[in-house]
A = this chain, B = another copy of it.
Amino acid sequence: MSSFSRGLNLDDGYFCRSPLPTRSKYWPLADRRCHARRNHSGRCSEFPFLNHLCSIAPKVADKIERDSIMTTGAAWKSDEAGPNRILRWVMLETDERLLQFGIDMAKLQPQVVAKLREKAADYDSCIRVAMWLTYLVYQMPDSPQPPAEVKTYLEDLFGPIRPDSTTCLVCLLPLSFNLFRAARRGKAAIETCHKEPRLHDPGNVGFAHRECNIAQGAKGLSDFYEWIEGILRRARPGLFR
């Protein structure tokens, strides 16, 4: 039975979970932990499943780590926009508590607050998402093959790796690993994407073409499909039953 079918409880004894030292000022809000297997040899590591990608595709590994654990607050930078990227679990705290960390939510524009709060997630969910995104990457067309250690680690969590099976979460077409390299002005052709905006957990998270993610906008995925169905029923009524 995989951890996935057990709900992927990170405290179920499968992982080391030793607390890791951190220099983050947010350390009181969550212990960051080791996710190597219990009784592992070598040093503790928060994202051991990313080690291989780190060495062969460091930008992809960085992206998985960043998108898993950080919010994106606003597309612009200004005092009003507040912290552009912040740890997702920090955004679970009350305004009062955040003030103790120098974050004054009352000073931010309401839509920025909404966007930040929407992306809040607890630490374990963030780690689960990082694991899941790594698993998806190794199933992309043109993806590198994981070394045996990483393969076993991920398959124990989520089941057998099926090569070339990862699709864009929105348009459902195969999503080539090579698209990670296609970036314009720092904007990658592949983005991390949520089926429902508020849920940061495997099953709700995946990758999407940038244009698909942009088209989906703030909508949940089923609302998006309903929306484009409405458009198409007006623009191309003959297509439908």
Q: Are B232 and A229 in contact (CB under 8 A)?
A: yes
Question: In the docked arrangement, what's the CA distance between A192 and B173, Å?
Answer: 31
Which B residues lie within 8 Å of A231 (CB)? 170-172, 212, 225, 228
With beta carbons under 8 angstroms apart, the residue of B171, B211, B238 that contacts A234 is: B171
With beta carbons under 8 angstroms apart, the residue of B170, B225, B234 that contacts A236 is: B225
A235 within 8 A of B: yes
With beta carbons under 8 angstroms apart, the residue of B215, B217, B225 that contacts A232 is: B225
Q: Do A235 and B225 form a contact, CB below 8 Å, given A184-B111, A214-B217?
A: yes
Smallest distance from the beta carbon of A233 to chain B beta carbons, Å? Answer: 9
A1 within 8 A of B: no
Which B residues lie within 8 Å of A238 (CB)? 241
Q: Are A232 and B241 in contact (CB under 8 A)?
A: no
Which B residues lie within 8 Å of A101 (CB)? none
Smallest distance from the beta carbon of A171 to chain B beta carbons, Å? Answer: 5
Q: Do A217 and B211 form a contact, CB below 8 Å, given A172-B234, A231-B170, A234-B171?
A: yes
Chain B residue at minimal CB-CB distance from A228: B228
Q: Are B173 and A234 in contact (CB under 8 A)?
A: yes
A56 within 8 A of B: no
Which B residues lie within 8 Å of A106 (CB)? none
Q: Are A229 and B236 in contact (CB under 8 A)?
A: yes
Identify which of residues 182-240 in chain A touch chain B, using a CB-to-CB cut-off of 8 Å: 184-185, 211-212, 214-215, 217, 225, 228-232, 234-236, 238-240
Question: In the docked arrangement, what's the CA distance between A228 and B173, Å?
Answer: 12
With beta carbons under 8 angstroms apart, the residue of B214, B230, B232 that contacts A214 is: B214
Taken residue by residue from 111 to 133, chain A's Cβ proximity to chain B (1 for < 8 Å, 0 otherwise) reads as 10000000000000000000000
The 4 closest A-B pairs by CB, nearest first: A215-B215, A172-B234, A228-B228, A171-B231
Other than the known A170-B231, A228-B228, what 16 A-B pairs have Cβ atoms closer than 8 Å?
Answer: A171-B230, A172-B231, A172-B235, A173-B234, A214-B215, A215-B228, A225-B231, A225-B232, A225-B235, A229-B236, A229-B239, A238-B241, A239-B240, A239-B241, A240-B241, A241-B241
Listed A/B pairs (11) with beta-carbon separation below 8 Å: A76-B185, A170-B231, A171-B230, A172-B231, A172-B234, A212-B231, A214-B215, A225-B235, A228-B232, A240-B240, A241-B241
